Chain A
Amino acid sequence: MIAPVDKRIQSVKDLKERVRAVGENEVARILVCAGGGCLASGSDKVIDALREEAGIRDLDIEIIATGCMGLCAEGPVILMTDNMTFYQRVHPDDASVIMSEHVQGARTIERLVARDANGERAVPCLNDIDFFQKQTKVVLRNCGRVDPESIDDALEAGVYQALGKTLSELLPNDVIEQIKISGLRGRGGAGFPTWMKWNFTRQTPADLRYMLCNADEGDPGAYMDRSVLEGDPHSLIEGMAIGAYAIGASQGYVYVRAEYPLAVERLQKAIDEANEHGLLGENILGSDFSFNLEIRMGSGAFVCGEETALIASIEGRRGEPRPRPPFPAQKGLWGKPTVLNNVETYANVPSIIGNGADWYAAFGTEKSKGTKVFALAGAVRNTGLVEVPVGTPLGELIYDIGGGIVNNKPFKAAQLGGPSGGCVPKEHLNVPLDYESLSELGAIMGSGGLIVMDDDACMVDVARFFVEFVQEESCGKCVPCRVGTKRMLEILTRICDGQGRIEDIDRLIELGEFIQQGSLCGLGQTAPNPVLSTIRHFREEYVEHIRDRHCRAGVCPSLVRAPCQSACPAGVDIPGFISLVGGKRYSEALQLHRNRNPFASVCARVCFHTCEEKCRRSTLDESVSIRGIKRFMVEQETEMQLPEIRTNAANAAKKIAIVGGGPAGISCAFFLARLGYKPIVFEKEPRPGGMLVQAIPAYRLPRETLAREIRMIERMGVTIETGKALGRDFTISELKEQYDAVFVGIGAPDGIRVDLPGSDTKGVDDAMTFLRQYNIRGSVPVGSNVVVIGGGNAAVDAARTAIRLGAERVTILYRAYARRDAGLCRRDRGSPAGGCPDRIADFS
């Protein structure tokens, strides 16, 4: 095709004139995000409505459909370029008010702007919003800012200037040297140095070379390539052209997923426009360099993300990987030297050439340079695309940019790198996101998929999910991958079904290592990663599934009758007693509760009720107030009823000793009594109850409530002797001689002292000591200005107690990310008026 002369840019000098000068007058614009997420939320209707309103009012304003702006959770989103106001959750009906108030009235529309992390202050300006302000956009610099369907817009934004610089100032080896200095590593997988790959290809003697782009973004959870393809296709074209010049290629292909029809459409349009403008094709910008680019669509095979499989697919064959060497750099497409890089890798290239390699190398860490785009998804508030310098801590990404976990649930793990990667548990929230650090944890950067999980995720089930995916996507060529992942899947399925065996864990590890070593391509070599990673960081969960047939997340159907029951440490039949309460059968409900836990009244007041966090009702509106129902239930018991006791003369004749009269010891006595035994409990303190009387203040747990339940247990045949201390009044040896069995339930009475300078000085106490003195003696010295470190229940009890004892000011210090654990989240029913919250301040 002969390009029309009037559009063709003839020289580098002409190209430079296409850039919009800084401060140059431009028509005001409304940029509407038309990325995949916002389109799904209806942004195309917003665009239509805005254009209609602009037409009605005859306004001189451009309404542009852009690529992804990144904040998918708040879509549809728009950006007003006159003052960089960012509006969220825009509805087509808002078009009228946007035009009349913002465009014509120059007023900000308050209800559409972002709020700060606390939801209090309006943050209208894009650059002030944490989600955007804390990012560094290199790859995504034009996404959401330029019209992806207009090459003129791209040229005005400076796209193709790096290509012009390349052709006029640099030799091919100079380009490779710049890429080397920049430290750019491939962004699609393991991070191989880009310059090295280019250099190998260039050095291989050949009459033809190929430049390929891997846009087969198969990782579930990754969509940054889509964002570039749809939002800034010209940067990709420019990056590939520069690379082709560097290695001496005249033909390129972009292999795009079939699932991305819009990306294919926009990229093709961009290629056509680039050809018309002389930026692709013969004699680019009037130089000797020629480069043609074509699209090849993928057809739905994950393995084609592997380079030799992708090449086979372009050649029209089954996408089966082949052994290397020879590497594609020597023998690739049609047997010629070939470079294959990821979309994101190419999108970095123009910035490196344009701004200088040193500029790029200034981002990141010593070994991992530049920025990385992450697709932040899962149980995080601000889902979307995030670009940060390599080495940014994971926690910063999740909490500062991502806004924390949905519903303030605890962070459990993040899966990085999709089915080829691994999980990072919360102990490693500080891990810098670079290739080396993640590798040490058994994870990979991969393409940048980042799935955040809260405690509703079962790590065994997640591992099974990934193995199932890999099993289905295996090309079937080699046995370790095809058969090995099948065996792993069978084992994991057994474990999730409650049929696991304890040796399964070691068998999975052995299988995983074998598959890693024996597989031909990257798919098989990385397939075991999610399993090995979850075993490494969450082995206890595997053990629970196998040994206890218990899924604490409430996910595995065979192991979970109801998620709330699964979450209860005592395994109380919550659906059962709630149904009975609903039928007004209160005594039966209480009996059902006591089958698993004798302290129904106590727990109705002080239990931290993890069951409510798992309640299925919260997917409709809110969790059922399970603890509240329990309290109502116990209050219906006017006359203490005794649980069923199986009278057994033989058991009654046995002598059982229990050391410790706390919850464990008393519960043990309770269950033994129900079987007909008559155990004796030895308690050191004047009153039984352990932590229930020593640590929990009476205003939270009235003493009569506890005493009543202990009396019930005594009436079942249990003897409790107080003032009897182990080591002083008896020894274990003596008990063994006198009794048939001895249960030791001394609990964990000591607090943990903070390892801080000065923590052993006068005036510094741990909460347990403080609360015990108060609860046993009724009084303890307290200063006027008290600081409590930590946000748990003991901390809040200590704070409230200090105020009751006359402290003028009490401050709680706790970690921001742990807010959910703070006792502050719950007002205890029955707490006296004028209680603590008004007097407690908190600092993050």
Chain B
Amino acid sequence: MAEEKTCCMCSQEVTDEEMIAQLDELIGEYIKQPGGLIPALQTVQSRFGYLPESVLLKISRMFDKPYSEVAGVVGFYSFFSTVPRGKYTVRVCLGTACYVRGGKEVLSAMKKELGIDIGETTEDRLFSLDVGRCFGACGLAPVIMVNDDVHQRVNPSKIGEILKAYAVEEPQEEGVAV
């Protein structure tokens, strides 16, 4: 589990059928494990970036649980998504310290720059926008994360520069400070 990343770096399209075909290999070990449903969902989402309905139906059969129960779990936790995510997930921290230091302005600037709202993905599938409640870098508020990269002391007027580094090519530097 330690090798898994929390954000999907997969950029190519995978069909639902292909996803379903890989499920046995991917999550077979969790079926007999008590409480294995959530780790299984985490693994699948890490692999494919999201959890389409057909995959959830298959998972519920594998775990011998009603679809409503599996869907209820997916709907409950904010980490899970049933729609495709962008290549990069941008998360703006609205924890208390970041909020007090201007997180709201950062979020507004991000929405404007990307042209999407929270929970949405850009048309080119490059960026998804989310809100986080704390990334543990409160001393450097306000903070945003792009996949696993943390950007500190973010200035709303510099949002474009941060995103440009991801839009053009693979980021040359991680943890870019503005």
Contacts and interface: CB of A to CB of B under 8 A. Distances in A.
Interface string A88-112: 0000000000000000000000000
Nearest to B33: A316
B90 to A, nearest CB: 14
Given A44-B175, A221-B134, A318-B72, A377 B139 contact: yes
A384 B133 CA distance: 18
A218 B94 CA distance: 12
Contacts of B134: 217-223, 259
Given A36-B136, A218-B133, A453-B100, A317 B77 contact: no
A451 B96 contact: yes
Contacts of A469: 94, 133
A72 B140 contact: yes
Contact of B42 (A268, A299, A315, A379): A299
B35 A315 contact: yes
A318 B76 contact: yes
> Which 5 residue pairs spanning A and B have beta carbons closest together?
A72-B139, A220-B95, A223-B136, A383-B139, A268-B2
Interface in A8-66: 36-37, 39-42, 44-45
A403 interface: no
A519 B97 CA distance: 27
B136 to A, nearest CB: 3
B1 A268 contact: yes
B177 A317 contact: no
B120 interface: no
B5 interface: yes
Interface string A297-331: 11111100000000001111111100000000000
Contacts of B79: 258, 298-300
A454 B135 CA distance: 23
A42 B141 CA distance: 15
Contacts of A377: 96-97, 138-139, 141
Contacts of A302: 133
Contacts of A320: 76
Contacts of B96: 220-221, 377-378, 415, 418-419, 449, 451, 465-466
Given A259-B135, A301-B77, A457-B100, 20 more contacts: A36-B135, A37-B152, A40-B137, A40-B175, A41-B152, A72-B139, A220-B94, A220-B96, A258-B42, A258-B79, A261-B5, A261-B6, A264-B2, A295-B2, A296-B38, A317-B69, A319-B77, A377-B97, A377-B139, A469-B133
A42 B138 CA distance: 16
Contacts of B38: 296-297, 299, 313, 316
Interface of A: 36-37, 39-42, 44-45, 72-73, 75, 217-223, 226, 258-261, 264-265, 268-269, 295-302, 313-320, 334, 375-379, 383-384, 415, 418-419, 449, 451, 453, 457, 462, 465-466, 469, 473, 475
12 contacts: A39-B150, A40-B150, A42-B175, A75-B140, A219-B134, A220-B95, A261-B148, A297-B1, A315-B35, A316-B35, A384-B139, A469-B133
A798 to B, nearest CB: 38
B15 interface: no
Nearest to B100: A378
A260 B6 CA distance: 9
Contacts of A296: 35, 38-39
A318 B1 CA distance: 21
Contacts of B52: none
A221 B97 contact: yes
B139 A258 contact: no
A383 B140 contact: yes
A73 B77 CA distance: 32
B52 to A, nearest CB: 18
A268 B1 CA distance: 8
Contacts of B136: 36, 217, 223, 226, 259-260
SS class, residues of chain A in contact with chain B:
mixed
B12 interface: no
Nearest to A311: B35
Contacts of B174: 44
Contacts of A316: 34-38, 73
A40 B97 contact: no
A75 B140 CA distance: 9
A299 B97 contact: no
Nearest to B131: A472
Q: Max chain B CB contacts within 10 Å: which of A41, A319, A415, A418?
A: A41
A465 B140 contact: no
Contacts of A473: 133
B47 interface: no
Nearest to B35: A316
B175 A220 contact: no
B151 interface: yes
Q: Max chain A CB contacts within 10 Å: which of B34, B77, B176, B177?
A: B77
Contacts of A475: 76
A419 B95 CA distance: 10
Nearest to A260: B136
A40 B152 contact: yes
A334 B34 contact: yes
Contact of B177 (A40, A298, A314): A40
B35 A314 contact: yes
Contacts of B1: 264, 268, 295, 297
B99 interface: yes
A296 B37 CA distance: 11
Interface in B1-51: 1-2, 5-6, 34-39, 41-42
Nearest to B148: A261
B56 interface: no
A383 B138 contact: yes
A299 B80 contact: yes
Q: Max chain A CB contacts within 10 Å: which of B41, B94, B175?
A: B175
B84 interface: no
B144 to A, nearest CB: 10
Nearest to B102: A619
Contacts of A268: 1-2
Contacts of B141: 377-378, 383
Interface string B84-104: 000000000011111111000
A313 B1 CA distance: 17
Contacts of A451: 96-97, 100, 138
A314 B76 CA distance: 14
A384 B152 CA distance: 14
A302 B97 CA distance: 17
Interface string B115-143: 00000000000000000111111111101
A336 to B, nearest CB: 11
A419 B141 CA distance: 18
A88 to B, nearest CB: 13
Contact of A36 (B37, B41, B150): B150
Contacts of B76: 301, 318-320, 475
Contacts of A375: 138
Contacts of A44: 174-175
Q: Max chain A CB contacts within 10 Å: which of B42, B80, B151?
A: B42
B95 to A, nearest CB: 3
Contacts of A383: 97, 138-141
A258 B39 CA distance: 11
Contacts of A295: 1-2
Contacts of A72: 137-140
Contacts of B177: 40-42
Contacts of A299: 38, 41-42, 77-80
A259 B2 contact: no
A237 to B, nearest CB: 15
Contact of B140 (A41, A219, A300): A41
A462 B136 CA distance: 20
B137 A36 contact: yes
A269 B2 CA distance: 8
B130 to A, nearest CB: 9
A379 B141 CA distance: 10
Contacts of B152: 37, 40-41
A301 B78 contact: yes
